[in-house]
Chain A
Amino acid sequence: MDRYIKAPISDEDAKSLKAGDYVYITGTIYTARDAAHKRMAEALADNQKLPIDMKNNIIYYMGPSPARQGRPIGSAGPTTASRMDKYAPDLLDLGLKGMIGKGKRSQAVKDAIIRNGAVYFAAVGGAGALLSQCIKKSTVIAYDDLGTEAIRELEVENFPVIVVIDSEGNNLYETAIKDYCKI
């Protein structure tokens, strides 16, 4: 089913999304990948405040290529989500509602998704040029020294993603493959 949702995402919207839904996101989302997650985990361990409020927000696992002049961002597709599995459950427990990436997640992440009524979305891997066109504005808001791995605030318009793991724990990667697996 095609769905259009706003970001930050409401508890109701997050709960209503089902694995396999094709979703267009409009609003504000944040980027963070390996190095930024490591720093956020260190900040939490030191009882420091995180640079972004997790509540009802969506994190996009992405590190863009540099923007050419006059453009908000360069190529901007998803990176493999499993590398953030170590950090994601803590962020979900702090209110994070959505993650956009690609690839499998661990059982611990799936449990945290269910526990918090959150969603894991996949964007199409390797479609960075196409996806960059849905990003209207990009601002580095933390960890500037990390370059492409800095935390960015993105304004997105009809950003296309697919629900892979929904708030009930249904996993599209597992179900969809079964339909076409012949060996």
Chain B
Amino acid sequence: MKRTRITAKMRIIQTSDITKNIKEMCIEANHFLSDDMKEVFNHAVEEEESPLGKQVLNQLKENLEIAGRDMIPICQDTGMAVIFINVGQDVHFDGGSLTEAVNEGVRQGYTEGYLRKSVVKDPIFRENTKDNTPAVIHYDIVPGDKVEITVAPKGFGSENMSRVFMLKPADGIEGVKEAILTAVRDAGPNACPPMVVGVGIGGTFEKCAELAKKALTRDLNEKSPLEYVRNLEAEMLEKINMLGIGPGGLGGTKTALAVNVETYPTHIAGLPVAINICCHVNRHSHRII
């Protein structure tokens, strides 16, 4: 008989624990913004030059207070659940399929948390699954015996305005800047500005898109270790805010709250760039189990 030998290093986690955490995180993310988001938001209200823009930002601040106080989702588009799970390689899951446990958490969170069910079973036939499943899950295997989960419900007003550009190496950093500005300019009022702009540079077609999504979940106070990336983020935030789109797209100096850039090695022939736009409701809940 084949036996699994459990070494001293192996940590057993019940999949029911994953379900419980995902459920709570879906509800939490849709009602409370993280502290880093609140902080940039408060700065934006102070700095906005347009009176109408300021009025919109104040409404959004009030909206956040009502959401948390009365447990009404910050936005009616409670998103498709995007979930990043970094599994420590010394972890063993007990209790059935991990993916099913994650989806069960989404199912419970969206049903019991009065969140909108926005997922259709087939992109063409479009029948609602009625429980917001399945989630989009990105797994990564990492060293250690912990499981790190990020739940990022993603609304589609801004998702629809996201772009992938397969630039040429000769386009260089100027090409990247132009791509970012093009995406934001085209998004305009549709993406519910002030937005958070996630950028992925490098990798392959799908890798840069995943990086851009991941960039949106990065704590806004956390800086890139690469100097050119930090400079790019600062320069693009300034340039985007010069576009004039403003809060709600009604004109103003706060079109973006932050620009987060992630990079990855790429092929000698390519320079993929993805721009994943998120509205001001940049939701993410983070836990380590």
Chain B residues with CB below 8 A from A62, complex form: 76
CB proximity of B208 to chain A, nearest CB, Å: 24
Chain B positions 70-107 with a Cβ under 8 Å from a chain A Cβ: 70-78
Q: Which residue of B lies closest to A146 (CB)?
A: B128
- Count of A-B contacts with CB under 8 A? 168
Question: Is A5 at the interface (CB under 8 A from chain B)?
Answer: no
Chain B residues with CB below 8 A from A125, complex form: 75, 157, 189, 192, 248, 279
Interface size bucket, B side? 35 or more
Verify A182–B60 contact, CB threshold 8 A: no
Question: Is B281 at the interface (CB under 8 A from chain A)?
Answer: yes
What 1/0 flags go to A57-100 for Cβ under 8 Å of B?
A: 00000111111100100111101101000000000000000000
Verify A126–B114 contact, CB threshold 8 A: no
Interface size bucket, A side? 35 or more
Verify B250–A162 contact, CB threshold 8 A: yes
Verify B72–A180 contact, CB threshold 8 A: no
Partner of A180, one of B50, B78, B189, B248: B50
Question: Is B160 at the interface (CB under 8 A from chain A)?
Answer: yes
Interface of B is mostly: loop
Question: Is B42 at the interface (CB under 8 A from chain A)?
Answer: no
Verify B242–A63 contact, CB threshold 8 A: no
CB proximity of B287 to chain A, nearest CB, Å: 23
Question: In the complex, A67 Cα to B281 Cα: how many Å?
Answer: 20
CB proximity of B87 to chain A, nearest CB, Å: 31
Binds B, one of A6-14, A111-119, A129-137: A129-137
Chain B residues with CB below 8 A from A27, complex form: none
Verify B71–A68 contact, CB threshold 8 A: yes
Question: Is B163 at the interface (CB under 8 A from chain A)?
Answer: no
Verify B56–A124 contact, CB threshold 8 A: yes
Question: In the complex, A75 Cα to B281 Cα: how many Å?
Answer: 13
What 1/0 flags go to B125-136 for Cβ under 8 Å of A?
A: 010101000000
Binds B, one of A42-50, A151-159, A170-178: A170-178
Question: Is B270 at the interface (CB under 8 A from chain A)?
Answer: no
Verify A126–B60 contact, CB threshold 8 A: yes
Question: Is B115 at the interface (CB under 8 A from chain A)?
Answer: yes
Verify B249–A103 contact, CB threshold 8 A: yes
Q: Which residue of B lies closest to A38 (CB)?
A: B126
Q: Which residue of B lies closest to A149 (CB)?
A: B128
What 1/0 flags go to B167-191 for Cβ under 8 Å of A?
A: 0000000000000000000001110
Verify B246–A132 contact, CB threshold 8 A: no
A63 in contact with B252 given A74-B72, A75-B73, A147-B130 (CB within 8 Å) = no
CB proximity of B227 to chain A, nearest CB, Å: 24
Chain B residues with CB below 8 A from A35, complex form: 126
Binds A, one of B8-16, B61-69, B198-206: B61-69
Verify A126–B74 contact, CB threshold 8 A: yes
Question: In the complex, A175 Cα to B62 Cα: how many Å?
Answer: 27
Partner of A176, one of B114, B192, B251: B251
A129 in contact with B157 given A66-B114, A68-B114 (CB within 8 Å) = no
CB proximity of B189 to chain A, nearest CB, Å: 5
Verify A148–B281 contact, CB threshold 8 A: no
Verify B72–A128 contact, CB threshold 8 A: yes
Chain A residues with CB below 8 A from B71, complex form: 68
Q: Which residue of A lies closest to B255 (CB)?
A: A180
Partner of A66, one of B116, B246, B280: B116
Q: 23 A–B contact pairs at CB < 8 A?
A: A65-B114, A66-B116, A71-B72, A74-B72, A80-B190, A102-B248, A103-B188, A125-B157, A126-B75, A128-B73, A129-B66, A129-B72, A129-B73, A130-B66, A132-B72, A147-B130, A148-B128, A176-B251, A176-B252, A180-B49, A180-B50, A180-B246, A180-B253
